[in-house]
Amino acid sequence: MTETLEQELQTALLAVRQAALICRTVQSAITDEVLEKKDKSPVTIADFSSQAVICRALHNAFPEDPIIGEEDAAELKGPENREFLEKIVAELTADGIQDPTPENVCTWIDYGGAKTYSDRFWTLDPIDGTKGFLRKEQYAVSLALIVEGKIVLGVLGCPNLPFPGENPTAGTLYYAIAGQGAYALPLVREQEPKRIRVTTTSDFSESRFCESVESGHSSHSHSQQLAERLGISKEPRRLDSQAKYAVVAQGEADIYMRLPTRPGYREKIWDHAAGVLLVEEAGGEVTDIHGNPLQFDQGYELKNNQGVIVTNGHLHSLLIQSLDELEF
């Protein structure tokens, strides 16, 4: 990578930090402000607010860049959801965002409406782990830049993941640039970035894995069978969102398993792109359950991949081999 991506990094860090702080404010106040999407999954005022501010910032700085975002404003435009839209407007007004009229907010959210692959694009998950967000547990704001099918920049805001060595409410902002390492910053305080690295564990009996809280997103029974086969005896750490990638990248777990719950499901690029680069730049390895690299040049889904396996690298090939043998 000859390009420095300095402007991209600064824009992304600023936007993700702002969105993460908005999410934190909303999370501390949420009661029942939830919409149900067509696929029955939840979406909140914070998801939409986060997508609005990040897409607005990206569009201002890089007007030519398409953004493949998780959310869209279609449902917000219906009269039945006018009140919900007004709440997003009120939240953005309180956060000091300029001119957040209902129309502008929908326009900003829909800047994230690209669906297809292009040579250079951003992918955004305004809140990854919405279910964790609603449980007041882990969630992440995830943004990545993909150029010619390769993830070149990833930023992950984790408001409920403590900055290493600091009080548990501090929150952490992670970033990685291809070829330049992975770093952590406190979410709220200015500080020199701290380089993060995966563990050096090469023995499964000493390893710990993490996985989704939601057994509908990743099979807990299959991970348990695999753990038994490999001699992993430590209890899994269950947490929502791409915070799992951050936990592996900073050496607090050795493995993250995402094992399909049904054969037809395809992972979404915004659920992984930033996390993948973070772990790779921290020295780890990421593939699908068959050991194939994740392909970020197939549109908004990882069409040619099934599940995701993340390790510190040392444990990778043996884990994939055991998965193969289990033939789930």
Give the binding site for ligand A3P (CB under 6 A). Answer: 41, 70, 125, 127-130, 132, 212, 214, 216-217, 240-241, 261, 265, 268, 271
Pairwise CA distance, residues 157 & 175, whole Å: 9
In angstroms, give the least distance from the CB of 125 to ligand A3P: 5
Q: Which does 110 bind (CB under 5 to 8 A by kind): ligand A3P, Mg ion, none?
A: none
Residue pair 316/268 in contact by the 8 Å Cβ criterion: no
> Does residue 130 carry a catalytic annotation?
yes
**Closest to ligand A3P by CB, 206 or 265:** 265
Q: Rank residues 132 and 157 by Cβ distance to ligand A3P and give the closer one.
A: 132
User: CB-side exposure of 146: number of CA atoms within 13 Å?
Assistant: 29
Distance from C-alpha of 257 to C-alpha of 242, rounded to nearest angstrom: 12
Site for Mg ion contains 267 (CB under 5 A): no
How far apart, in whole angstroms, are the C-alpha atoms of residue 290 and residue 44?
35
CA-to-CA distance for 253 and 209, rounded, in angstroms?
6
Active-site annotation holder among 11, 44, 47, 110 = 47
Is there binding between residue 70 and Mg ion (CB under 5 A)?
A: yes
Q: How far apart are CA 15 and CA 9, in angstroms?
A: 10
Least Å distance between CB 145 and ligand A3P? 19
261 binds, among ligand A3P, Mg ion, none (CB under 5 to 8 A by kind): ligand A3P
- Whole-number minimum distance, CB 25 to ligand A3P, in Å? 19
The binder of 288, among Mg ion, ligand A3P, none, by C-beta within 5 to 8 A per type, is: none
Residues in contact with Mg ion, shown as a per-residue x/- string from 272 to 291 under the rule CB under 5 A:
--------------------
From 44, 130, 199, 287, the catalytic residue: 130
Consult the annotation and say whether 281 binds a ligand.
Answer: no
Residue 75 Rama label (left phi>0; alpha psi -120 to 50; beta): alpha
Q: Are 32 and 86 in contact (CB under 8 A)?
A: no
- Point out the annotated binding site for Mg(2+): 70, 125, 127-128, 271
Residues in contact with Mg ion by the rule CB under 5 A: 41, 70, 125, 127-128, 130, 271
List, by residue number, the catalytic residues.
47, 130
